[in-house]
Structure 1
Amino acid sequence: MSKLPHISTSIFSIMSQLANEHNAINLSQGFPNFPVDSLLKERAAFWSKQEIHQYLPMAGYPPLLEKIAQLTKDSYQRIIDPNTNIIITAGATEGIFATIQALVMPNEEVIILDPSYDCYETPILLCNAIPKRINLNDDFTPNWELIGNTVNSKTRMIIINNPHNPTGTTWKEHDFIALEKLTESNPNLIILSDEVYEYITFENKHQSINQREKLKEKSIAISSFGKSFHITGWKIGYIVAAEDLMKEIKKVHQFLVFSVNSIAQYAINDYLDSAKIHELGWFYQQKRDFFRSLLKETKFELLPCEGSYFQIANYSKITNENDLEFAKKLVTQFGVATIPLSPFYADHKQTNCLRFCFAKEEETLVSATEKLLKL
């Protein structure tokens, strides 16, 4: 008997395996293929030779917690206590899992906005709670009327993702105002805000839950050093939350991993002294614009990309196949791996769209586009 009978191999694993089997260019999984900053690698190499290989405090390396508090103040003007409002996690996924396990009770409901990242639903089910999955509008903005009609006395949490994976959309001021009204009329409702791409936004600066006075005391913000510093394999992120919420999250975290990789924490602590994290959006905007200029020569229709390192493209002018079939054909016949959107929906909604990751070297993007021009 399975506790998760409907959970199978993730679409990311499927497409990456197909890419390997067919020697395809992998624009599916969201990881960069360019070098990590040499200074960060040097700091990791330095600390690996020091005697810092034992457990760190459960919540994280204290100097790193202090720097995260300063980063949060600099980025969002929110003043937090390093000792009570922050915890270092084994990647954003562990932070999301620990938060849901800590704060959601059996038979409570959690709202997920589809298309949604696939790590949200599982911890809800393992709590014996009820995921309520609501489709975003066709332009991938929140449908506040539908969300409001779904929230009830059993609704414990709403999960928001901004900037959004897989679509690259970002929340606007009116979305936060709508969320504030929702929480005012539903005082039991808390917010899990997945902001792992917070420093990867383009024309418009990221708006964080950390900036909302009416929301921050009932919110949990998830961040990722893996995304911000191109070190996804390090699996290190952090949570910012109000003290009463953080106390409960720490209870779960200590029995999941207790503490996170010491070398990574020491290295990142050093790196934050010189990291130009606020230039990250500009760095990725160059890649976005370059990739979009290439794709404009293909038959794909490009949707807006406001943040993250993903570009959504509609393929309706190429074929009427469903997105999973078309994505597999791209790998096997044309040598480019992408991600279809339907697996991000509970109802497997067909949008005729694929997600491309442009966090790649320019030559990789050029080579992929040359293959796509053959469609």
Structure 2
Amino acid sequence: MSDDRPAGDDRSTKTATPRPDTGTGPPETGESKTGGQGIGGPGTGPRGPRRRSAAVRGAAAAGALVVAAALPFYLDHFWLNLGLLVAASVVGALGLDLLVGHTGQISLAHPFFIATGGYGYTALASDGSGELAGAGWPTALAALGAIVLAGVAGALYAPISARVRGIYLAVASLGLVVLGQHLLLNLTDLTGGYDGRDAPPLNFFGLAFDDGGGDLLGVPFGRVERLWYVALAVAVAAYALYASLRNTRPGRALAAIRGGETAAAAMGVHVPRYKAAAFAIAAAYAGAAGVLLALTLQRLVPSSYEVEMAFSYMAMIVIGGLGSPLGAVLGAAFVTSLPILLRHYSDHLPLLAAEGSGGLSAGVAAQILYGAAVVAVLLFARGGLAGACRAALRPRRRPTATKAGIR
């Protein structure tokens, strides 16, 4: 067989030799497959910005906790009581957002579970010496028992939540609120009926959370100041539990259920079991919120747990941003504090009239404002307040020079 290649073509016998390094080529990047280091050395690769962002978030959270811990030394009782109400709403909103925003189960039963926690704590902690029943438990144990009781109530409702979904689940859960009102008004030996009953003050290992406390660093430290730290600890624990649950296998399973129950079941997720667990956890969160409300208000009445509370909590998570723990915190702070602040400053704000005068009261104005906020979020900012904050704090990338622009 003849060779048809031209003379001097020896491609079959020669191999490519590496070009010597003359120092004029592009520098070594040192980037590994794992994305560890980039051109600038350690910390400038893809993982560097993530680590710096996590460090910034951790430093901001630590700073916020330090500031929150110092507030009782500087604020008066109005602002501290407002903070306690916000903390209770934060805990309840986190539980509802876990159920609605993260799992996709629409529930309006939160007032029932909040009432279960509040009245459960009051009944377990009261000594029963008066006309109303009481178990006489230590108050710290009664608080834990009330949270467990609310979680059990949510677990008992789980078979219904596992069978229905969407608007049908919302209507079915609203029936729990109606049932709760009937029980609160008729179980007079336990709840006190229309007049309600007083909640015993917390006593934690001999430390009484009442108004008989002494001074600390020259500042009177009574019930509100001491209860501030309890509410802060409970709110931080509730936030940390929700935030950590999202990145676990059960959290991803709950997110898969939100995306579609059929697809989640095809991936091996036991849908009824996880839906029941989500409902029980959300109910336990609501029970903790009920205990904090009972300790803050010191008296429970059935009218506090009506349907209006259900829509208020739904507004919290929608305004804050569904599926975001930060959104639940921001939405709870907005919806809870707005009517109180409007009522507090009604004498200095135009167009607001006194309660019962027939004009635009602070409570009605607050409902109009956060109703408008819900509409604005649905139309213009699906991420809610949390999404707006992330967009505002996100650093803007500078335009990079391209080869076409460098000539």
**What TM-score do you get using the length of structure 1 for normalisation?**
0.28
Compare CA radii of gyration and give the structure with the larger one.
2
Q: RCO greater where, 1 or 2, for CA within 8 Å and sep 6 or more?
A: 1
Structure showing the higher helix proportion among its residues: 2
